[in-house]
Chains A and B, each alone.
Chain A
Amino acid sequence: MRNPSIIAGLIMLALILIVALFGPALLESTLFQGQRPGMRGSYRPYQLDSVEHPIGTDGDGRDGLMVFVSSIWPSLQIGVIAGATSTVLGVVIGFLAGYARGRLDTLSRILIDMVLVIPTLPLLLMLAAYIDRWDLYKLSLILGLFGWSFVARVIRPQVQSLRERSYVDLAVLSGENALEIIFLELLPPLLPYIGYVFSLSIVGSMLAEAGLQIIGLGAGGLPTLGFMIAKGFRESVIAIGLVGQMVLPAGALIYVFLALNLINTGLDEVFNPRLKTTVEGA
């Protein structure tokens, strides 16, 4: 894994992870000693940027920077939990579909294609209408349940092509059973690709979550980056002059997407070495 894109992406992710995990505590012990910056009504709302409040205070009388820093972790959590859910489901289904032959193969392909075309946003919104109280895990699981079809769709052909290789035939001849073939022969070479799909799923989930928040139908009250952006837009904080309260969370989202995109580019090159030579050597 000495791929420069992957390393750059991982460093970027590590940095924001540090901010997300230790940022709130750090802020409380340095800038806001003896205060409660994350509590509603701690300060006068909508104060402009100052030394005490680098990006001002929000409409609920909280420090903007504190709100921003503590919004990162929930956003990342949603992305990872939802991404992992859809990747695991999709890989299992994709492997079953790719490994099976005949009728089962056709059936699974139709099923995957079918779920793939169902437009997710209205469905998610409609589910939101049915679910009374959201929490982070419920939301992540639901986002994950909607993402598996894409994963299965791209994993299936990979499994199919691997299954036809002669080394797999050899394993069959030497008496390995189906599970051994799947876990020992088919899974390992696909790991970089699965990593690639996982990272795409994280992006998809974070994108969907923030999108739900921004049209005002997300898991209301979940303190995510999307929620902060949505709140800032509704309260027109930019008109007030609190530019940072929207630009920072939006920038953080784009930053995470960029990091994952870098990792993806790298994983794609690892999995598909021809890509590198054609792009650079053409």
Chain B
Amino acid sequence: MTANADARAGESATERQDAGRREVFQYAVRRFGVYLFTLWAAITVAFFIFRLVPGDPMNILLGNLTRAEGRQRDAEAQEAIIAHYRQIFGMDEPLPAQYINYLRKAILGGLDLGPSFVEYPAQTKDLVFRRMPWTIGIFTTSVLLAWIVGTGLGALIGWLQRSRLSQLAVVISTLLQITPVYLVALGLIIYVGYTWRLLPAGGPYARHLQPEWTWEFISSLLTHAILPMLSNMIVIGAGFTLGMRALMISVLGEDYLTFARAKGLSPFTVLKDYAFRNALIPQVTALAIIVGATLNGTFIIEVLFQLPGLGTLFVQAMGLRDFNTMQAVVLFSIFAVLTLTLIVDLALPLLDPRIRRTA
């Protein structure tokens, strides 16, 4: 009898597991579908926003050219120049045709986004790929480090909520969190970089070096990366600290924690297995929410620290009114934000069995 019941229980457990796996799979497929649709829609919105804005950017471009040359060309030559620019930027056709062309070239043409102006005649695609590692490197490293440090600190502060020290930590993190990332960057550049000369604060590596696999180059690269990453980390880390603290405090008020303590578990076990784990899930979701804002901040940081990333590329392109390159960077940002959000969303069921079942 009992053996039979056990077998039946075991059977239904595996069945349940299978059903669970199927649900996770369905969730992943559905989430991926939403991802593709949003990606397409966001690119479309971005495409049309610009083309529907009143005003002709070609006139600005022509104005720049005239100023650079220092003389006015006759009307016929101006027309020819504008026509040529329109052709380079694919703006010489009616709007729907432009749109179809843009998508066709971008998807079927292997990300063919036309020539760039910044490094003419280099392809925009190559330019973006060359600059991308800087942006991705600074962005991911600083976000991950900030997340780890902030989550740990926040858990600790939330755990020790009544102590003086943790109250002080809350005030400091609040101040840091509301400070714009570029002000932190400016402060670090001016004081740490130039006034006290502790760390380099401009350029990707020392000017006399060439990229190569030597210790000298790598250490120069790393020391130059400290301040840009630190600017990002301070602000994001403070946000994560405060978020985790609030989560910890609300988890600490739950009944199951009182019960865990009443069972006589050690405070460390309660903290690690009961409080921390439950507070962690919204904290991972928070990671997905800050992606967009942090990417914006990283672009500004690159410009301030003169790093050759996408933000700097964008600013250069903007000076030349290089629409192909500007569009490519916008495309990259949309893709990056959506993809990172997707990764976080797909990772969530691994952390939280409840989502696995209800998704």
Contact = CB atoms under 8 A, between A and B. Distances in A.
Interface of A: 110, 113-123, 125-132, 203, 207, 210-211, 214-217, 229, 233, 236, 238-239, 246, 250, 253-254, 257-258, 261, 278-279, 281-282
Interface stretch (B80-88, B210-218, B276-284, B298-306): B298-306
20 contacts: A114-B38, A114-B42, A117-B334, A118-B334, A119-B295, A119-B333, A119-B337, A122-B326, A129-B57, A129-B321, A130-B55, A207-B180, A211-B182, A215-B304, A215-B311, A215-B315, A239-B195, A246-B190, A278-B253, A281-B253
Contacts, number: 137
- Ranked nearest first, the 9 interchain pairs of A and B with the lowest CB-CB distance are A121-B296, A119-B333, A257-B178, A282-B253, A215-B303, A122-B330, A114-B41, A130-B53, A214-B182
Given A129-B321, A238-B195, A253-B180, A119 B330 contact: yes
A117 B299 contact: no
B161 A282 contact: yes
A61 B179 CA distance: 30
A118 B321 contact: no
A125 B314 contact: yes
Given A122-B326, A279-B249, A113 B186 contact: no
A76 to B, nearest CB: 16
Contacts of B220: none
Given A113-B38, A122-B326, 9 more contacts: A117-B337, A119-B337, A121-B295, A125-B326, A129-B318, A130-B50, A250-B186, A254-B178, A258-B175
Nearest to A232: B186
A129 B178 contact: no
B185 to A, nearest CB: 9
A258 B179 CA distance: 9
Interface of B: 37-38, 41-42, 45-46, 49-50, 53, 55, 57, 59-60, 161, 174-175, 178-180, 182-183, 186-187, 190, 194-195, 246, 249-250, 252-253, 292, 295-296, 299-300, 303-304, 311, 314-315, 318, 321, 323, 326-327, 329-330, 333-334, 337-338, 341
Contact of B334 (A119, A126, A203, A207): A119
Given A126-B326, A129-B318, A217-B315, A253 B334 contact: no
Contact of B60 (A115, A129, A250): A129
A222 B186 CA distance: 21
B292 A117 contact: yes
B330 A126 contact: yes
A214 B45 CA distance: 27
Contacts of B55: 130-132
